[in-house]
A = this chain, B = another copy of it.
Amino acid sequence: AANKNILMLPGDGVGPEVVAEVRRVADWLAAERAVGFDIAEGLVGGAAIDAEGAPISEATMQKAMDADAVLLGAVGGPKWDGLPFEQKPERALLRLRKDMELFANLRPAMVFDALVDSSSLKPDLVRGLDIMIVRELTGGVYFGEPRGIETLPDGQRRGVNTQVYTTEEIRRVAAVAFELARKRGNRVCSVEKANVMEAGVLWREEVQRLHDESYPNVELTHMYADNCAMQLVRRPKQFDVIVTDNLFGDMLSDEAAMLTGSLGMLPSASLGAADATGRRRALYEPVHGSAPDIAGQGIANPLATLLSFAMMLRYSFDLDSEARLVEQAVEAVLARGLRTADIVQEGTTTVSTREMGDALLEQL
């Protein structure tokens, strides 16, 4: 098989440190499991602003469009906080999502047995938690027009954004949710505010229609977004797959992530549509941010990025057994009691980013 082209965009803060460990694991896989990777690197976020004058250059965008998969570290930091809206590091994320048409953002929220006590929630409520949130990522209020700030005749200002979804946008992301559910608990909960927003009424109707037409055997329920925000706290294990729009998904996936108590462990995948050859654009990144407060100290947790790479193996390259290998290595090092500073517990050994990488390679 041809080599897989991976573009790595380490970005800012702890991004470069955690991506470096993934690169070592990728090299190991290439050497030991005869999986061929061609790995290129590029600049993104603040790093790209500083070196190239924009949060992502046209050349890097092109590489991302052409790659078989992209691995992103993190973007942003206090250095670039003062920049206006259109020039901030985060614009690179929005540009990548939009231009690559990454409409389905997969955000697993799972609790590793070894880390149950890290949660804010009582252990019984989160032990074994395994939710998959599917967030629509290229539509809704993030990209809707008209948008902007105008000055009114009386001197007041008015800020406008537009929430908008079409049948096709809803169906394609819902299909991803139903497909995933089939391989998991077979249950999808679709979340909107159909009691207040027409865009939510449409969302509910289209998800229901796709279900009835093509996925009648998957259990489908509907829930209002405010209730979902509650239920995630009350009894998170009631959920299997949640599918929701861009803005609700932004909040609910972060809330769900925090329920696990260990952001440093959570991966994500953002997927486009498959073309005729089955190839789909895809970007993988850890849920945690650039963590400027600990950047450069070599203490960041590389596991979320590594698990994002495992998602890449599974969803972009169909290398399920290699993905499992990586995931099992992560569980094994946790079981051995190794912890980076963010997930340290009594009776465990605190290790650096690099030492965690060493332990993983050893394990593999």
Using a CB–CB cutoff of 8 Å, the interface residues on chain A facing chain B are 85, 88, 90, 94, 120-122, 125, 141-142, 144, 147-149, 152, 156-168, 193-203, 206, 225-227, 229-235, 247-248, 250-252, 254-255, 257-259
Residues of B within 8 A of A194 (CB): 85
Partner of A202 from the list B149, B167, B233 (CB cut-off 8 Å) is B149
A199 proximity list for chain B (CB < 8 A): 159-161
**Nearest-CB distance from A208 to chain B (Å)?**
13
Contact B198 A85 (CB under 8 A): yes
Residues of chain B within 8 A (CB-CB) of A160 are: 144, 162-164, 198-199
Assess the B230–A90 pair: CB atoms within 8 A: no
A202-B159 contact given A233-B233, A259-B233, CB 8 Å threshold: yes
Is there contact, CB below 8 Å, between A200 and B159? yes
Give the docked Cα–Cα distance between A52 and B170 (Å).
37
A102 vs chain B, min Cβ distance (A): 16
Q: 6 shortest A-B CB distances, which residue pairs? A: A159-B202, A159-B199, A156-B167, A230-B258, A229-B255, A226-B254
Instruction: Check B234 against A254 for contact (C-beta < 8 Å).
Output: no
Partner of A198, one of B120, B147, B197, B255: B147
A258 to B148, CA, bound (A): 34
> Judging by beta carbons under 8 Å apart, are A230 and B203 in contact?
no
CB of B166 within 8 A of CB of A158, answer yes
27 CB < 8 A contacts A-B: A94-B196, A120-B125, A120-B233, A120-B235, A122-B122, A142-B196, A147-B198, A149-B198, A149-B201, A149-B202, A156-B168, A157-B202, A157-B206, A158-B167, A159-B201, A159-B202, A160-B198, A161-B197, A193-B247, A193-B250, A229-B229, A229-B251, A229-B252, A230-B255, A233-B259, A234-B258, A247-B247
